[in-house]
Amino acid sequence: MELSGRCVLVTGGARRIGRAIALAVAGAGAKVIIHHHRSASEAEAVAAECRALPSCQGAVTLAADLAQASACLALATAAEDAGPVDVLINNAAVYLKTPLASLDAASWDAVQAVNLRAPVLLARALGLAMRERGEGVILNLTDWGTDRPHTHYLAYAAAKAGLISASAGLARALAPEVRVNSIAPGAILPPENASPEYDNAVRSATPLGRWGGVSSVTSTILFLIGNDFTTGGNYLVDGGRSTR
């Protein structure tokens, strides 16, 4: 799919990797819908950055609490009204620490709602609309560590593993009109206020010896949107971290 003149919905598009994704697709000639929850001012700033790019076909923001199923469906409807949506990029996520001793139903459900249920609900609503129009692309951001989950983040790992499986199922269900892939990033950006010790530990654990930077994700996204013989895959962007 050529992005020029298309409409792309990026969930969690106000900050960090989501911001970079929004700018990348805008730079490729798309209209961008930037979803946010509470980051209204940041989302508007990203939209302004996108609109300033010569090739961008426009940028708007939409707010929704993806923990609420009804809000997911409302977001899909609003995005279609602003679009229609040709590409859905499910980037929004919550990274909630859930060690086993304190894991309860509420924390489990909170993580699953945003990280697994919301992407699937959006993919269903927008994917069916794309299929009716004859073409579309869905990309889901997962995680490199689903096969070796961190014990303090069991709910997060389970949700991302479920999203990899859901992506493959959606790819089969929506084919051949709509292609669905997932992308599993590793160490892309250091956490805000990361200590030098943490930075060194991540670099040491990554065979390429460095953080990937947002371009490692955005270039993969642009490749998967443009390559029309890819569907049902989970693409690692982890600097080799999964090999250790």
**Could you say which of 3.40.50.1370, 3.30.1360.120, 3.40.50.720, 1.10.3720.10 is the CATH number of the domain covering 7-236?**
3.40.50.720
Structure confidence at residue 111 (pLDDT)? 97
DSSP result, 167-190: HHHHHHHHTTTEEEEEEEE-S-SP
Q: Which two tokens stand for residue 75?
A: 């977001």
Structure confidence at residue 157 (pLDDT)? 96
192 has a pLDDT exceeding 90: no
Cβ neighbours for 126, distance < 8 A, ≥ 6 positions apart: 9, 76, 79, 80, 85, 88, 136, 138
Query: Within a 10 A sphere around the Cβ of 35, how many other Cβ atoms?
Result: 27
**For residue 11, what are the CA distances in angstroms to 8, 33, 141?**
10, 8, 10
Q: Dump pLDDT digits (tens) for 43-99.
A: 999 999 999 999 999 999 999 999 999 999 999 999 999 999 999 999 999 999 899
With beta carbons less than 8 A apart as the criterion, state whether 78 and 61 touch. Answer: no
Structure confidence at residue 158 (pLDDT)? 96
What mean pLDDT do residues 235-242 have? Answer: 97
Distance (Å, whole) CA 104 – CA 116: 17
148 has a pLDDT exceeding 90: no
Kindly report whether the peptide bond that precedes residue 196 is cis, defined as omega within 30 degrees of 0.
Answer: no
Q: Dump pLDDT digits (tens) for 194-237.
A: 899 999 999 999 999 999 999 999 999 999 999 999 999 999 99
Kindly report whether the peptide bond that precedes residue 176 is cis, defined as omega within 30 degrees of 0.
Answer: yes
Structure confidence at residue 167 (pLDDT)? 98
Q: Give residue 64's identity as a one-letter amino acid code.
A: A
Cβ neighbours for 80, distance < 8 A, ≥ 6 positions apart: 126, 129
7 has a pLDDT exceeding 90: yes
Is pTM, for the whole model, over 0.95? yes
CA angle at 13 for the pair 178 and 77, rounded to the nearest 5°: 55
Q: Where are the domains of the chain?
A: 7-236
Distance (Å, whole) CA 1 – CA 174: 16
Examine the residue annotation and report whether 156 is marked as an active-site residue of this protein: yes
171 has a pLDDT exceeding 90: yes
244 has a pLDDT exceeding 90: no
Distance (Å, whole) CA 138 – CA 237: 17
Structure confidence at residue 154 (pLDDT)? 94
By percentage, how much of the chain surpasses pLDDT 90? 94
With beta carbons less than 8 A apart as the criterion, state whether 126 and 75 touch. Answer: no
DSSP label at 99?
-
137 has a pLDDT exceeding 90: yes
